[in-house]
């Protein structure tokens, strides 16, 4: 950080500025000194955050002039807080990385929304409850008989919603245990005529 502070001091002196520059506003990379930030972050929105090739999904809960507060999507657990300029920069990088990934073509609506958010266009708020994960027990409403194919096997259809296991129950027959089901996917599963949901337990930690 001494090198960065010296660079900032040189910039301040050369620019004739009276006040010292805040080191949290800048970073040193292969291209030299660059200012952090670059986008407007909105609360109650999903983004990806991070400078790596595998950024983390986050749900932003609050935004102030100084900080961004968020929860990790995979757990929706304890809130975390990060300085605003750093958050703006990492969220921009992470969301752009997701858009360049193969996932974007399978989620066109999410890709459209991310592009709008990156452009500073406010989008309809999302709900935290839609991203809480659930463990669900469900049964097929019309279990296939005879030899099953990938198209007729309920297991593969259940994989659309989460990670799948199964067990045999005297009353219900084959019960599909589906984990890591988001609130959004649980709503969709309850409407899926191929399944009947027996129970749903929050995995929130």
User: 3-state secondary structure string, 16-55?
Assistant: CCCCCCCHHHEEEECCEEEECCCCCCCCCEEEEECCCCCC
Average pLDDT of span 124-140:
96
Count CB atoms within 10 A of the CB of residue 68.
25
* Structure tokens that stand for 19 in this block: 């006040």
Average pLDDT of span 172-178:
96
Q: What's the confidence (pLDDT) of residue 60?
A: 97
Using pLDDT thresholds of 50, 70 and 90, give the confidence band for residue 103: confident
Using pLDDT thresholds of 50, 70 and 90, give the confidence band for residue 29: very low
Structural domains of the chain, ranges and CATH numbers in brackets: 2-35 (no CATH), 45-127 (no CATH), 132-202 (3.30.70)
Q: Distance between CA atoms of 99 and 105, rounded to whole angstroms?
A: 9
| pLDDT, tens only, 194-204 | 999 999 999 87
* Structure tokens that stand for 72 in this block: 């990790």
* Structure tokens that stand for 197 in this block: 């949901």
Per-chain mean pLDDT for the chain: 85
């Amino acid at each position: 950080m001494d090198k960065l502070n010296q660079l900032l001091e040189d910039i301040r002196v050369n620019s004739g500025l009276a006040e010292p520059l805040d080191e949290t506003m800048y970073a040193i990379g292969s291209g030299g000194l660059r200012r952090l930030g670059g986008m407007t972050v909105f609360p109650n929105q999903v983004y990806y955050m991070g400078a790596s090739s595998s950024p983390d999904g986050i749900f932003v809960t609050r935004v102030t002039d100084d900080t961004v507060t968020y929860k990790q999507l995979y757990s929706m657990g304890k809130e975390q807080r990060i300085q605003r300029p750093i958050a703006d920069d990492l969220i921009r990088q992470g969301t752009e990385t997701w858009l360049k990934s193969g996932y974007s073509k399978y989620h066109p609506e999410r890709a459209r929304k991310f592009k709008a958010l990156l452009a500073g266009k406010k989008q309809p708020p999302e709900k935290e409850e839609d991203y809480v994960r659930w463990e669900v027990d469900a049964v097929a409403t019309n279990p296939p008989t005879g030899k099953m194919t990938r198209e007729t096997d309920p297991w593969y259809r259940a994989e659309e919603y989460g990670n799948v296991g199964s067990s045999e129950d005297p009353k219900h027959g084959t019960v599909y245990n589906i984990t890591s089901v988001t609130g959004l996917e649980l709503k969709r599963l309850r409407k899926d005529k191929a399944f009947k949901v027996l129970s749903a337990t929050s995995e929130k930690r």
